[in-house]
C-alpha cells in the first residue's frame, strides 16, 4: 500500500494522535523533489520497492526544492510518528544531521539516498559514487574541446555532498588534459531557473564559449533553453550532462547533448527503500551501496534507453 502525504497532512495526523499504518511496516521516504525529471525516476523506484515488499511508504518532501527547514519538519514528524525506518535524500548534508541523530537514537534506521549526511551516522548510504562518476564526466568532456577553450560549469548546491563531489570530480577529470581551459561557473542550488539565467548572462558576455557542463540534468535542460533563447542551434555549443534523465537523452537524440554520465536513478530509489525495509527488519545491510553509472553518448543512447525502459 503506497501513501503520499503532504507536510500538513503528516503534521495533522500526528497532532490528532493517528497512526499512518495499523498493520504493515511503515517506511518514511523524504525526497528532494516530486517534479524534477530525475527525481521522478528515483521516486518511482522507491514506490515500486515498497509495493514489492508489501510495506506502506509515506512519501514527503520539502515545500520547495532546496528548502531545508521544511525537509527537517517532515523528517522530524516521521520520527515522532515512530515509522519503522526512514529513507532520506538530504537537501543539505550537514543541516539534516541533527534530525538523523535523533531518529537513530530513537531506534529508527536511516538510509541516505542520492546524497550523504555529514556529521551524523546513517544505517546505509545508497547512491552513485558522485566523485568517481564526475571524474569520468570531466575526462569525457575534455575530449570534446581543445586545451584553452572556454567552458561553463553549472554547479549543484555546494551545501550538499553531491554538489561538492560532482564539482570536484569534474574539475579533476577535466583539468588532467585541459589545464589551460578557462572554466566559468554558474552557481545554483539545483535550481533550473538559476541555471538558465546564469548561462544566459555568461553567454551574453562570453560568446566564445565552446561547452557547457552541468552537475545535473535540470541544469542541462536549462542550458539548452538558454542557448535556444539566444539563437544557438543544436551542437553550436557542446552540452555535457549528469543524471541520464529522460529529457536530456531526448535532447541528445536531437543533437544538443554530446555526453551524459547517467546515474541509475531508478535503482537509487529502489535499492534505498529495499535497504530501509531490511534494516527495519533487523537484517544486516551494507553501509555503502553504489548503484552504478552508464556513459551515455549518441552511440550508446539506444542501449541506455532499453536498459531504463525509455
State the pLDDT confidence band at 160, using cuts at 50, 70 and 90.
confident
Instruction: Give pLDDT tens digits for 99-141.
Output: 999 999 999 999 999 999 999 999 999 998 999 999 999 999 9
In a domain, 309, yes or no: no
Claim to verify: residue 112 and residue 54 sit in the same structural domain: yes
310 has pLDDT over 90: no
Over 90: is that where the pLDDT of 46 sits?
A: yes
Question: Residue 15's pLDDT is what?
Answer: 32
Q: What is the pLDDT of residue 48?
A: 96
pLDDT at position 117: 95
Question: Total domain count for the chain?
Answer: 2
* Domain CATH number, residue 58: 3.40.50.2300
pLDDT band at 18 (very low <50, low <70, confident <90, very high): very low
Q: Does 34 share its domain with 108?
A: yes
Task: Tell me what the mean pLDDT of segment 55-81 comes to.
Answer: 92
CB burial string 4-25: b at 16+ within 10 A, e below: ebebebbbebbeeeeebbeeeb
Does one domain contain both 153 and 274? no
Q: Are residues 36 and 86 in the same domain?
A: yes
Reduce the secondary structure of 254-299 to three states and give it as a string.
CCCEEEEEEECHHHHHHHHHHHHHHHHCCCCCCCEEECCEEEECCC
Which pLDDT tens digit goes with each residue over 196-228? 999 999 999 999 999 999 999 999 999 999 999
Residue 60 lies in a domain: yes
Question: Same domain, yes or no, for 26 and 148?
Answer: no
- Asked if 272 and 164 sit in the same domain, the reply is no
The domain in which residue 221 lies consists of 130-263
In which band, very low, low, confident or very high, does the pLDDT at 39 lie, cut at 50, 70 and 90? confident
Exposure on the CB side of residue 212, measured as CA atoms within 13 A: 34
Same structural domain, 269 and 227 = no
Mean pLDDT of the chain: 91
Cα 85 from chain centroid (whole Å) = 21
Q: How many CA atoms lie within 13 Å of 98's alpha carbon, on the beta-carbon side?
A: 7
Quick one: CA torsion of 142, 148, 151, 156, rounded to 10 degrees? 70
pLDDT of amino acid 165: 95
Q: Residues 175-192: what's their mean pLDDT?
A: 97
pLDDT exceeds cutoff 80 at 3: no
pLDDT band at 20 (very low <50, low <70, confident <90, very high): very low
- What mean pLDDT comes out for the span 23-48? 88
Q: Could you read off the pLDDT of 248-272 as tens digits, one per residue?
A: 999 999 999 999 999 898 999 999 9
Residue 301 lies in a domain: no
Asked whether the whole model's pTM tops 0.85, one would answer no
Are residue 35 and residue 154 in the same domain, yes or no? no
- Judge if 37 and 162 occupy the same domain: no
| Cell numbers linked to 167 | 564539482
pLDDT for the residue numbered 9: 36
pLDDT of residue 163: 94
Amino acid at each position: 500500500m503506497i501513501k503520499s502525504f503532504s507536510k500538513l497532512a503528516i503534521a495533522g495526523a500526528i497532532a490528532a494522535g493517528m497512526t499512518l499504518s495499523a498493520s504493515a511496516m511503515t517506511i518514511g521516504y523524504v525526497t528532494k523533489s516530486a517534479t524534477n525529471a530525475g527525481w521522478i525516476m528515483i521516486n518511482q523506484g522507491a514506490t515500486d520497492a515498497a509495493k514489492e515488499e508489501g510495506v506502506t511508504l509515506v512519501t514527503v518532501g520539502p515545500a520547495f526544492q532546496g528548502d531545508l527547514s521544511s525537509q527537517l519538519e517532515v523528517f522530524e514528524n516521521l520520527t515522532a510518528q515512530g515509522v519503522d525506518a526512514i529513507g532520506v535524500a538530504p537537501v543539505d548534508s550537514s543541516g539534516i544531521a541533527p534530525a538523523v541523530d535523533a531518529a537513530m537514537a530513537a531506534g529508527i534506521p536511516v538510509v541516505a539516498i542520492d546524497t550523504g549526511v555529514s556529521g551524523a551516522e546513517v544505517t546505509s548510504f545508497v547512491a552513485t559514487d558522485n566523485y568517481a562518476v564526475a571524474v569520468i564526466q570531466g575526462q569525457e568532456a575534455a575530449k570534446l574541446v581543445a586545451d584553452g577553450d572556454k567552458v561553463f560549469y553549472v554547479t549543484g548546491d555546494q551545501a550538499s555532498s553531491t554538489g561538492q563531489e560532482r564539482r570536484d570530480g569534474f574539475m579533476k577529470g577535466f583539468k588532467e588534459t585541459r589545464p589551460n581551459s578557462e572554466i566559468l561557473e554558474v552557481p545554483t542550488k539545483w535550481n533550473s531557473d538559476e541555471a538558465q539565467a546564469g548561462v544566459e548572462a555568461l553567454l551574453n558576455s562570453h560568446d566564445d564559449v565552446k561547452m557547457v557542463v552541468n552537475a545535473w540534468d535540470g541544469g542541462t535542460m536549462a542550458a539548452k533553453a538558454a542557448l535556444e533563447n539566444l539563437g544557438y542551434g543544436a551542437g553550436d555549443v557542446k552540452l555535457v550532462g549528469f543524471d541520464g534523465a529522460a529529457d536530456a537523452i531526448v535532447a541528445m537524440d536531437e543533437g544538443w547533448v554530446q555526453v551524459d554520465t547517467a546515474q541509475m536513478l531508478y535503482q537509487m530509489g529502489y535499492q534505498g527503500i529495499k535497504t530501509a525495509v531490511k534494516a527495519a527488519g533487523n537484517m544486516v545491510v551494507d553501509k555503502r551501496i553504489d548503484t552504478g553509472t552508464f556513459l551515455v553518448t549518441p552511440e550508446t543512447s539506444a542501449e541506455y534507453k532499453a536498459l531504463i525502459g525509455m
